[in-house]
Structure 1
Amino acid sequence: MLRVLAVDDEKPLLEELLYLLRSDPRILSAEGASDATEALRRITRALETGPDGADGIDVVFLDIHMAGLTGLDIARLLAGFARPPLIVFVTAHEGFAVQAFDLKAVDYVLKPVRPERLAEAVRRACAQLGRAGEAPAAATGGAPGGPFAAAAPAAPALPVVPVPRRPAAEVTVADRAPEQIAVELGGVTRFVAIADIAYVEAQGDYARLHTDEGSHLVRIPLSTLEERWAARGFVRIHRRHLVALSRIDELRLDAGTTSVRVGSAELQVSRRHARELRDLLMRQATG
């Protein structure tokens, strides 16, 4: 069983990576760090307490491009310790693979992360640490001989395919079935009815769709959804929020600020959008 630390300064990607890691039965614990400073603090504490200590870390799943120190910088720092944790790089960039393996990385996983590809990285880490619970190579597509051997075309190591995979799939499905949007979680694709979405929250290049049952992350910018769903009654109320007009329960004016209540959520309305929103709600109320 592995104790892992995932490091990524993009919160939606970190949350998704942690979800996938925690779903793997070979993972005992999975914690996250959103920047290099926090990651180094946790790793230093783990090294001080020793591999069997309460704060021990067996494997670090490490993004490369981060503000401040990069993932490669962190790996170089760890290389100076006698018993550092293993490193698995998780990145959107193929060009650092040689440097990564020069730093003795266990694996190099490209984003968007596929569950079966991540499972193979976990298998390699288990094998290198001699831990029980390894998945059979046939089940994960693994191959013996270390990371370079498994990066051959027969294995899903350094792929050509995955870079645009999720956005392309979502656009295609949206074109075929305009009443729904495809969302992916843990390798399972679900179809969410657009009519069930109350509001959308921007998270970088991603958007989080909020329904009555929960939320779903899609790799589509909020500006794209604003343009695509304008005819469906979705309006921009803030640089971070897109709301279904029909799902607004209350409009609140308080000391010059405007907000709306959508179910249990209260969302701020920017001054830029406040007047337009009031006019739209008034027209809706009067038919």
Structure 2
Amino acid sequence: MPLTLLIVDDEPLARLRLRALLAQIAQPEVQVLGEAADADSALRQLREAPADALLLDIGMPGRSGLTLASALRALPQTPAVVFVTAHAEHALQAFDLEAVDYLTKPVRLERLQAALQRVAQRLRPVSAPSPLAADLPVLVVHDRGRVLRLPLHEVLYLRAELKYVTLRTAGHSYVLDDALADLEQRLEALGAGFIRVHRNALVARRAVRALEYRTADDGAGRGEEGWAVRVAPADEWLAVSRRQLPAVREALASP
């Protein structure tokens, strides 16, 4: 679907220039719903036909563009705002009003396109972001002197073994300098959904596929008969201590 726009500027030539620039933009696809020469006219049009975004001048007769941007919050559907103005001194106030961008006249095509792309990303975020997306939560760890940022969705479990902690992902094992207690605090702060299954092990609840009574690695290289969880996709069994068993059962039974 195209990004719907309302152009708000008291100068007809400025509105005409914006239309000419918009006609040259292929991505994102845009549709101009209308034009307004002042804030009151813009609000009337928005109540009749909501738009995704405004290309909004600041200095206009009557209410300014800044005043209009503040009033937009009272609308049932608040449009994004890209300010387009000849004056640079209002930029800080504009961003206080959560403007997506602040363009100064004469507007360059590349800047206008970049602003509209940001509008599209804000209004229609990608439903399945890449695991490398910058806004995904990460766990910062120290692997034998290196500082690593590991996406939380890749971490299967962390287990203390002798003098170090092993962090396991589907494709790699990291030897960490961090203490397990410190890592647990970081995970709790991130709301990461990890379960303590043993005094020496934390497991991502989403990675647990089974809880069974069997022989499993106790973390010290010994087979230990008792309760254990199977962690996928690594397909490894980790021992569950008797002390942690009730909490593990409760965590796995909850939605």
Q: TM-score range by the shorter chain?
A: 0.3 to 0.5
Q: Give 1 or 2 for the bigger CA radius of gyration.
A: 2
TM-score (norm 2): 0.46
Q: Name the structure with the higher helix share.
A: 1
TM-score (norm 1): 0.41
